[in-house]
Amino acid sequence: MTSQNTKFNEHEVLHELKHYLPAQAPLKDFIHHNTLHAFQYLKFFDAIRTASEMLGYRVSLSFKEYRDLYENKRIKSEILDRTIIQRKGAENLNEWREKVLHKEYHSPGLPRIGSLKSNWKRHYRIDLESLVHPILFRILCSYMDQGISIWTFPVKEKNFLSSIREMERNSFSSIFRTKRAKELLLKSTCEIPDLLAILVGDESLYKQYLFDQQFAHQGWSGMVSAVEDFPGTLLDTKRISTHSLIVLELLLEIDALDFQFKGKWEPLSGKIIEQPADLFAPSEHTEISDVMTIWQEAFEWSYYDEVLAGIKLDQSQNKPDESIKNKNFQAMFCIDDREISFRRHIEELEPDCETFGTPGFFGVEFFYQPEDGKFYTKVCPAPVTPKYLIKEFGNSQKREKDIHFSKTSHSLHSGWLISQTLGFWSAFKLFINIFRPSMGPASASSFKHMDKFSQLTIENKNTDDIENDLQIGFTVAEMANRVEGVLKSIGLVKDFAPIVYVIAHGSSSVNNPHYAAYDCGACSGRAGSVNSRVLSFMANHPEVREILKVSGIMIPDETQFIGGLHDTTRDEIVFYDENSLSTQNLESHSHNEVIFDKALDSNAKERSRRFVSIDTHESAEKIHERIRVRSVSLFEPRPELNHATNALCIIGRRDLTKNIFLDRRSFLNSFDYQVDPEGQFLVNILKAAAPVCGGINLEYFFSRVDNQKLGAGTKLPHNVMGLFGVANGIDGDLRPGLPSQMIEVHDPVRLLMIVEHFPDVVLKTIQIIPATYEWFINEWVHLVVVNPETNELSYFKDGKFINYQPLNKNIESISDLTSIIESHKENIPVYILK
Amino acid sequence: MQHLLPLFILLPALGFIISLFLPEKKETLISRTAFFTVGLHLLGAIVFFIYWVIGDRDPLNLKDIVLYQSSDYEFYIDFYFDKITATYLLVGAFLTFLVTTYSRYYLHREQGYKRFFNTILFFYIGYNIAVISGNFETLFVGWEILGISSFLLIAFYRERYLPVKNAVKVFSIYRIGDVGLILATWASHHLWHENITFSKLNNYELVHEHLTSHSMIGVFISLMILVTALAKSAQLPFSSWLPRAMEGPTPSSAIFYGSLSVHLGVFLLLRTYPFWEQQFSIRILIGVFGLFTAIITTGIARVQSSVKSQIAYASIAQIGLIFIEVAAGYENLALFHFAGNAFLRTYQLLVSPSVVSYLIREQFYNFSPRQRSVENSFPKKIQYTLYILCLKEWNLDSIMYRFFWNPFKRLGKGLDFLTVKRLLIFFIPAYLISFFCYYHRDLIPSHVEQYLPITFSLIGLIMVVKAFTERKKAILSWVLIIMNHFWVALAISFNEKYKIDESVLYLSGIIVAGVLGYFLLYRLRKLESGIDLDQFHGYAYKRPTIAFIFLACCLGVSGFPITPTFIGEDLIFTHIHEDQTFLALCVTLSTIIDGIAIIRIYARIFLGPHVKSIYEMAYRSS
């Protein structure tokens, strides 16, 4: 951010370096976030341009891809023209249209990262990376390993550098090849500036050298940095820091140079003839970057405009307040974009129902400890640190074992026996797994998160009931507080149906190291089943209801809340505590179950249009069976498509978009402006929705546009490292980001957030929390407000709302969705549902 | 019944050829072709096997095609079938069938879907030729195909740095194995004075008689077989290549490096067992190598913290045990062990991504911070020493560089004064004079003449070393490689009475492929302005067609069994006498380095990250 300083401030540089490194946690805690979070202080297009020049990322589609989209009418010419006029003025329209559509541009020169360190190769003819990286990665992986190796790192109690020091001191062998580096480690304090003085020499180059060095393996550096900041993310905690990683790497570099040149070499600065380009220099607009900006905006607005036109048309036709008074049931879902189609099918099958969306931890934040679990699992959004613990007991599930993962097969003598006995069993199992896939102990299943018939310690009757500083369960007042919060934020404060379902979601997959990314993001990459049960318990609690009455929420006595879990991969649903239902409710519940099952079949059919291995024309039941088989197939790298194609986040009443076909592209957060005229609840919704939905959206965005550097590349060659990351082969860097199989159908467009409220209220609301405001003012997320009374649309730009008139005047109405689903493999345009 | 044997090679060959012509986008068509080819093959193998078992179970032998014949030399393809063949054939067909079915969905939408199935089928041809082969020559054909298909599969992700680097590394170790096989073939020509078939090796008296009269040459052959087996089965000191080969898609790693390819060293030992059975010292040696490998690699496997390298080293350790079993004469046990190990490791590799969810769950419920392993009871100093050694893989990876490649590189640096111009100025007159002398041999004093073959082969060797170490000019390197072959041909023609048509046979493929390759490089240099060998350029990214044709040229020049050069290479060796160890050494060395230098040119120019599309490429370290 600052230009080159001659003074090297270690603390500052390390802090800045850590900020730029990928922030992805270990695999089991995979949580989506903005990949380029370090650049979020800039406006979106400035940020991505800077990131690209500095670190060599690709930050948009290629011009060819944009031009193909234009050919296919996915980018509309009137939108393109409008974008050019907005950016370049009407008088330059023709000139810029020509540039955008036809001009050939050469790819830019080399990125700035690495330019300093590349001098080793240029002037010394030494390939430092291939001498240092393999052993460095190996030591890091062995130290942090969570359970792959049989013989674990011998010194565990100390921090990273001390462990290595201890081993080096008491060993006949060494990780170093020469004396000096070893002695530096054993006899000096290994200050980074001292080591850099040996290697680089010129203090003004230190900072850039460290950036070059760490960005040559940003995956490992990012993992170390993440573990340093959140040590609890590794169950077997490790004390490692970016500082110690840099020290070891510098020592290994000195060692490699000493070895290669027999100790006779000079620091790098002596040989550098020209100063390398400043890594942090501001990046300038160029014609190429302008063309890219125009294309990207035109691409985004080609879709947004359809959606907004749909909303406007639909709202003007719709007479408000035709809502049903006597509902059969109500159901809450996660805001997740995978639930939108499920909700649509339920609503279609049972018109007398109402569905809601709210982040899938349902406003109850706690740690969860399953029976026999040795650790606590956080089941709420990542930034929240809960003070509560909920424990499971009475679990009757057996954890199955699979001997193929047993480490005994890797030892000599038992391996001898196992390969000759179990080996033949493997052949059989492989055969079965290929021709008749089924669920096994190796699969990750959301239903394993909590046993259906177990009990939970939800209510706290004695506030001294504390375990490791966590209160076990919630008191009645705390429960009432949370139930009120959820109900008011989604606008469900009256007209309760007899049954209110609280449906969480999770996923199942096999052979999938990224399984946590498929679960509920609002539950820190876990299934939300416990949360759904906890909220239902709270809302059913008579004392809680008494308190709610005081706040004006009258829940009738016959109304019962019931938890459930939707498996988004298999399209299956499980309900919890059904025996607590009254006889009458039990009866209607069994009627509702049929509806849910049918909706799941239809949902499976709708999803199948993206899967080549399934013929979407078949009956819904048949397809659903295939979807289930697919979820447990070892050879299926796409058990589901997760958040791919996400583009929208709608915060408002269901009626706002109930009649609009948004495919599976939108997060839906229920919100009623009438319940929250001042925007108190809206603040909290936006505080969560911007980073969660925006984070998911941008992670997909960047993994899609640069799958090699910002994504994980294809998952087919991935090798699991230490149970916390994946790499290609055995000597590779860790690959953060999403694998190509998750993002290939994704359209990289930023999230458009549509809020149903009055612009002045929203404007006030978004400015309350600066971190939230940054998302909007810097355009990492688009924001449009629908005025609930006038249906006027306004777009947020440069700190104020501007009226927006959609260019699309006609959005087609359809009544038969099935034929559309059966005939489209790609994204489906917006329709109005009759 | 033996007449059916060639079908087991023709079928995959047919499938391979069909698969080459399928359009890239037609995934179903491509995978179905592979599925039916391998499926039919499996079915055929089962039926054939049942027939054979309920029949007399005698080994089958078929002398198939004679490819070249002269008065004292015959080159023919021979097939053989016994229980070793049966086991390898069935295990191979079964696993390949499962893996092709698996990959059909697994590789969906992957760039190079077609390339993958092409290479799998190509591999499958090689595998079948090797396991059905009835003599060294046929075995060698299969062996070469396996080597090149391995290279192509490791470098499947050819736009990334590490796969390409590791592919070249593995290829160079395979090459050492190849040459072991060439030398074994050469020596056995001299031992038997014919192209001995494996079937004849079963004749105890015959083998016994030859070995008593030529014990040294017998030991030499066995040693060469051992070297080849060690290299192919990743035994010490070659072990470090196996984990590094796990760069392709998981199913290909599973089938090649988990099971089939890596067990071929065992196959070679089993196949030649009747020959070295009578040499007690060799049996001890094989056992000792197996034992050392088993112990050392078990240690390395125990410290591995990545799942694929753990499986790789554990598998190597089991193969070490199989070596012991073979050396001890427990053939059936070894076969059984091979099959079990192959199945187990294939499955373990295929389910390796599941290890995260499974082991994390195990850890969640069963974690104990004080978990200890056996080694923790060792004295501290021993424990740390061994741990660090195992972590560094006992330096196996760098040993090859330090003691083998680096000396050549240093030698090559001494030849920096050679330029294309100087070379041509030297080469053309020198070669013409030598050629003139060849027709007027009477002019040369005999004591000079006997040193000529060695001198010429040394010149060839120098050229190829220079080609191997050249960092700047790709074309120079290529020309040097071709010149090497000319010198070798000349050296041999001075060695004994030698017909010019044999030289023509040898050089024919090289000339055609060499000239075409030269032309391609020349054209590429025009198009891309400058091609050096100092780094990977990745031109296959933008120019796949040139890359493909050039690969064919590389195969042609390196004596791959697609041109007559292949037979010529074998012929050349038959003209080296058994007492000319130095000459054999020179020619062998130049053959090894020649192959590696060719693959190096191909890899450096066409593979790796495309230098002109840095923004589209992965980081070097990934």
Residue B270, pLDDT > 90, answer yes
Residues 285..344 of B with a Cβ closer than 8 Å to A: which?
294-295, 298-299, 301-314, 317-318, 321, 336-337, 339-344
Over the stretch B321-376, which tens digit does the pLDDT of each residue have? 999 999 999 999 999 999 999 999 999 999 999 888 888 888 888 888 767 778 78
What is the rounded distance in angstroms from the CA atom of residue B541 to the CA atom of residue A752? 36
Nearest CA in chain A to B355: A405
| Model pLDDT, residue A122 | 86
The answer to whether the CB atoms of A730 and B308 lie below 8 A apart is yes
Q: Which residue in A56, A129, A635 is closest to B106 by CB distance?
A: A635
Over the stretch A668-697, which tens digit does the pLDDT of each residue have? 999 999 999 999 999 999 998 999 999 999
Over the stretch A522-534, which tens digit does the pLDDT of each residue have? 898 899 999 999 9
Residue A182, pLDDT > 90, answer yes
List, in order, residues 6 or more apart from A832 with CB less than 8 Å away.
A310, A313, A314, A659, A660, A661, A811, A812, A813, A814
Chain B environment of A151 (Cβ under 8 Å): 299, 302-303, 373-375, 387, 390
| Model pLDDT, residue A590 | 94
Which of B100, B292, B305 would you mutate first to test chain A, the one with the most A CBs within 10 A?
Answer: B305
**Mean pLDDT, rounded, for B268-285:** 91
Q: Which residue in B339, B363, B375 is closest to A151 by CB distance?
A: B375
Residue A3, pLDDT > 50, answer no
To the nearest whole Å, the CA of A730 is away from the closest chain B CA by 6
To the nearest whole Å, the CA of B11 is away from the closest chain A CA by 23
B385 in contact with A, Cβ within 8 Å:
yes
Q: Say if residues A97 and A80 touch (Cβ distance below 8 Å).
A: yes
Going from N- to C-terminal start, the domains of chain B cover 2-358, 414-616
Residue A323, pLDDT > 60, answer no
Over the stretch A203-248, which tens digit does the pLDDT of each residue have? 889 999 999 999 999 999 999 999 999 998 898 889 999 999 999 9
Nearest CA in chain B to A411: B298
Over the stretch A406-448, which tens digit does the pLDDT of each residue have? 777 788 878 888 888 888 888 888 888 888 888 877 788 888 8
Residue B99, pLDDT > 60, answer yes
SS3 B559: coil
What is the rounded distance in angstroms from the CA atom of residue B249 to the CA atom of residue B262? 17
B616 in contact with A, Cβ within 8 Å:
yes
**Mean pLDDT, rounded, for B123-142:** 92
Instruction: List the single range of A22-26, B28-32, B82-86, B452-456 with lowest mean pLDDT.
Output: B452-456
ipTM of the complex: 0.93
Q: Say if residues B506 and B571 touch (Cβ distance below 8 Å).
A: yes
| Model pLDDT, residue B401 | 75
Query: What's the angle, vertex CA B409, arms to CA B404 and CA B412, rounded to 5?
Result: 130
In single-letter form, the type of residue at position B56 comes to D
| Model pLDDT, residue B217 | 85
Instruction: Find the DSSP H helices in B233-263.
Output: 241-244, 250-253
| Model pLDDT, residue B498 | 60
Q: Say if residues A472 and A409 touch (Cβ distance below 8 Å).
A: no
**Mean pLDDT, rounded, for B457-462:** 85
B358 in contact with A, Cβ within 8 Å:
yes
| Model pLDDT, residue A6 | 67
Instruction: List the single range of A541-545, B163-167, B508-512 with lowest mean pLDDT.
Output: B508-512
Q: Which residue in A410, A511, A706 is closest to B351 by CB distance?
A: A511
A731 in contact with B, Cβ within 8 Å:
yes
**Mean pLDDT, rounded, for A34-43:** 94
- How would you classify the pairing of strands A353-357 and A377-378? unpaired
Q: Which residue in B250, B310, B380 is closest to A410 by CB distance?
A: B310
Residues 199..258 of B with a Cβ closer than 8 Å to A: which?
243-244, 246-251, 253
The per-residue b/e assignment along B188-224, b for 16 or more CB within 10 angstroms, e otherwise, is: bbbbbeebbbbbbbbeeeebeebbeebeebbbbbbbb
To the nearest whole Å, the CA of B46 is away from the closest chain A CA by 16
A151 in contact with B, Cβ within 8 Å:
yes
Q: Which residue has the higher pLDDT, B442 or A697?
A: A697
What is the rounded distance in angstroms from the CA atom of residue A144 to the CA atom of residue B549? 46
| Model pLDDT, residue A1 | 39
Mean pLDDT of chain A: 91
The answer to whether the CB atoms of A424 and B390 lie below 8 A apart is no
The answer to whether the CB atoms of B310 and A148 lie below 8 A apart is yes
The answer to whether the CB atoms of B621 and A217 lie below 8 A apart is yes
**Mean pLDDT, rounded, for A40-66:** 93
Q: Say if residues B197 and B614 touch (Cβ distance below 8 Å).
A: no
Q: In the beta sheet, which residues pair with residue A551? A: none
Which of B46, B109, B357 would you mutate first to test chain A, the one with the most A CBs within 10 A?
Answer: B357
Residue B402, pLDDT > 80, answer no
Over the stretch A337-384, which tens digit does the pLDDT of each residue have? 999 999 999 999 999 999 999 999 999 999 999 988 999 999 998 888
Q: Say if residues B361 and A235 touch (Cβ distance below 8 Å).
A: no
Q: Which residue in A141, A420, A732 is closest to B340 by CB distance?
A: A420
A728 in contact with B, Cβ within 8 Å:
yes
**Mean pLDDT, rounded, for A10-26:** 92
**Residue position matching structure tokens 């270990």:** A26
Chain B environment of A510 (Cβ under 8 Å): 354
Which of A158, A412, A613, A633 would you mutate first to test chain B, the one with the most B CBs within 10 A?
Answer: A412
Mean pLDDT of chain B: 87
Q: Which residue has the higher pLDDT, B460 or A768?
A: A768
Residue A321, pLDDT > 60, answer no
What is the rounded distance in angstroms from the CA atom of residue B41 to the CA atom of residue B9? 9
Residue A276, pLDDT > 90, answer no
| Model pLDDT, residue B368 | 80
What is the rounded distance in angstroms from the CA atom of residue B498 to the CA atom of residue B475? 32
Residue A2, pLDDT > 60, answer no
Over the stretch A617-631, which tens digit does the pLDDT of each residue have? 999 999 999 999 999
Q: Nearest to residue A500, comparing CAs of A540, A470, A465?
A: A540
| Model pLDDT, residue B499 | 67
| Model pLDDT, residue B101 | 92
List, in order, residues 6 or more apart from B370 with CB less than 8 Å away.
none
SS3 B508: helix
**Residue position matching structure tokens 């179905």:** B32
Sheet with A499-506: list strands edge to edge: A353-357, A329-333, A499-506, A560-567, A572-575
